[in-house]
Structure 1
Amino acid sequence: MLRRITAVAGALVMAVGLCSCTMTEIPEREVVHNTEVPPKMLFLGDSIAAGYGLEGYTLTDNYNCPDSYANILKERYNAELPDDCGHVMVNKAVSGYTSGDLIEQIQSGALDSDLSDSDAVIVSIGGNDLLDIMLGLLNSLGIDDTGSFDTAQFDIFSAASMFMSMDGDVDKALEQFDDNIKVISDELLERTEGTVYIQTLYDPLEYFSKFSMVTDFSAKKIGRLNTMIKDNSPRGYKVIDVAADFKGKAAELTRIADYDIHPNEAGHKVIAEDVDAALRATGFSYTTIEQGEKQLTADGKKAIAAGCGGGAAAVIAAVTVTVLMIRKRRRKSTSAE
């Protein structure tokens, strides 16, 4: 009899144990981690952002030129951010893009997924809106890559006429750019909760200092473009003033001596530092899911309060009866003796 009662009690205890296993949980909670740099960043725009002219660059791959400022920051942040952050850098810049091309790319929806998942969106745009026109002027004037020209062949009246004609073309391009930068910022801000940054445009034509007509013209027009970028920033984006750090250093930081307006390796390092400083001034965060300690669920607490459907009470009763019966049996045995 004792064995039978003990077995029943043991079975009831086991049942309660099994019941209690279904009544516990390991809670999860979101933990926010602050960081100086963005876990996920997206680069957009033109050949400057794409890394044109650098070793390893191709038209179809922006990730294979380690000296581009986008890739410099990618490696830096990969090393800096913790593993649970999962740093991501996406570069969708396209060489040759004008501000109008960028609008089409954004409005096509092709960037929506990247934009929605980005903490920072960094844009380089405007160079192709202006600089191609200006380089065409230099070619027409016969200015070579040293900044010199053949004075015997140079006609000041023809040059003045060219500048007057080009002045109108550049002003039209600038007016269009002013409209486009508004659309670009609005379209980007509508598609991302990340911070949007737009870089100013450096002036590579300052290199041609022997021809002040060119340098004055270039400084005026590119200065106006940069003013538009800054004046439109209240729409919601931040300005990265690359132009300020390139001023007076075109020969050192670009390939303009080879008639190439793009930054060289040293120029990309400067841009990387400018972008990095702007990002760190903003600050970012990321969220992880962490597990807490095992605990009772609400149903578990109710079950225990109710005796897990009577099971706990039954166990207590069974154990109590068992103890009493053992005591009674012992008394009888003692009496019989």
Structure 2
Amino acid sequence: MPFLNGKESAEHSKSYLTKSLKKDIPDDFIPTELSVVSVGDSLTQGVGASDDQEGYIPYLSAYLETNRGIKEATFTNYGVRGNRTSDLLNRLQDEQIKRDIEQADAVVITIGGNDIMKVVKEKFTNLTMADFLEASVTYEERIEKILKTIRKYNQEAEIYYIGLYNPFGKWMSAFSELDIIMDDWNEIGMEVTKSDSNAYFIRIDDIFAASDENLLYQEDYFHPNDRGYELIAARIYEEMKEKTVDSMYAVGQRNGVANNEEVDE
């Protein structure tokens, strides 16, 4: 065994400790940042939330940051009240939105409610199921284009498309058929997302239909209130925890193994 002087011994010990520490540090000890882009309509903008909060976003951010592997969940909000699928398609051509999507780990979409409301407003005095069926064909085409555009900008990000709900079901029986329409349109959204192996449809209609709580904004009884947004965020998180957070942790583990192997060489 070669003799080490004091300086050499100290350097050897330092090197040994560095290698040992790198091996022993868990992969989530140094958390990563998660970048999420939210696009869509008033549900993304946060209409109905108090104190100018951004709807589901602060709740979802808090849920995500409870994970040890997430240092910070950063959201960029591109929600615009009143937007329909046609509006979102146009806005996706914006260079800033494009750049942010390119750098995102995940993209969350809320869109479609105003497409339905457009039919309601235009045909209010003589609404038929055929009117919604005709509009649903265009809706499906645009949802497909929205997903393909986002995927063109970013090949790896998870895409989460939030489903539609019927805000009128509990207090306006004249709109009871909207439950059937919402189901049909949600089925369309679900089928479209299946065409992308990294896109996921998240239903929220049951949250509003089954709850005894008041989940709607009292100024319009259309948009969610704070509690409604909190429950939407919890539902989104259930999906993101499995699809985005856990997959990022798995990548971190693989990178950690690779780094340790480099140290050993």
Q: Residue 207 of structure 2 contacts residue 231 of structure 2 at CA under 8 Å; is this kept in 1?
A: yes
Residue number among 227, 232, 243 corresponding to 2:187 in the alignment:
227
Q: CA 1:86 to 1:249, structure 2 compared with 1: closer, same or farther past 3 Å?
A: closer
Render the CA deviation track for 1:123-160: whole Å, top value 9, x for unaligned. 111011112443676xx6xxxxxxxxxxxxxxxxxx6x
CA RMSD of aligned residues (A): 3.5
Residue 163, structure 1, aligned to residue 136, structure 2: no
Judge conservation of contact 1:46–1:95 (CA < 8 Å) in 2: yes
C-alpha contact (below 8 Å) 1:202/1:242 kept by paired residues = yes
What SS does the aligned partner of 1:44 have?
Answer: strand
Which structure has the greater CA radius of gyration? 1
How many equivalent pairs are there? 229
1:189 pairs with 2:184:
no
Distance in 1, Cα, partners of 2:133 & 2:147: 21
Unaligned runs of 5+ in 2: 1-17
Q: 1:55 deviation in Å?
A: 1.8
Report the CA distance between 1:81 and its aligned residue.
4.5
TM-score with structure 1 setting the length: 0.59
One-letter code of the match for 2:144?
Answer: K
C-alpha contact 1:38 1:279 (8 A) present in aligned 2: no
Unaligned 5+ runs, structure 1? 1-25, 58-64, 141-158, 296-337
Do the aligned partners of residues 53 and 281 (structure 1) sit closer, same or farther apart at CA in structure 2, a change above 3 Å counting? same
| Secondary structure class of the residue paired with 1:198 | strand
1:70 aligns with 2:57: yes
- Aligned equivalents of 1:90 and 1:81: distance in 2? 22
User: Which residue does 2:95 correspond to in 1?
Assistant: 109
Are 2:6 and 1:46 equivalent residues in the alignment?
A: no
| Contact 2:119–2:135 under 8 Å retained in 1 | no
Q: How does 1:1-337 map to 2 (within 5 A)?
A: 33=27, 39-57=34-52, 65=53, 68-78=55-65, 80-81=67-68, 85-134=71-120, 162-164=126-128, 167-192=129-154, 193-211=156-174, 214-216=175-177, 218-236=178-196, 237-249=199-211, 252-255=214-217, 258-282=219-243, 283-285=246-248
For residues 75 and 233 of structure 1, do their structure 2 counterparts lie closer, same or farther at Cα, with a shift above 3 Å needed? same
% same residue: 18
For residue 96 of structure 2, give the secondary structure of its aligned residue in structure 1. coil
1:202/1:246 contact within 8 Å kept: yes
Instruction: State the 1:168 CA deviation.
Output: 4.5
In the alignment, the residues of structure 2 paired with residue 278 and residue 47 of structure 1 have an alpha-carbon distance, to the nearest angstrom, of 22
SS of 2:37 mapped into structure 1: strand
Larger RCO, structures 1/2 (Cα 8 Å, 6+ apart): 1
Residues 266, 183 of structure 1: alpha-carbon distance in 2 compared, 3 angstrom cutoff: same
- The verdict on how the C-alpha distance between 1:177 and 1:122 changes in structure 2, with shifts beyond 3 A counting, is same
Q: 1:113 to 1:168 in 2, by over 3 A?
A: same
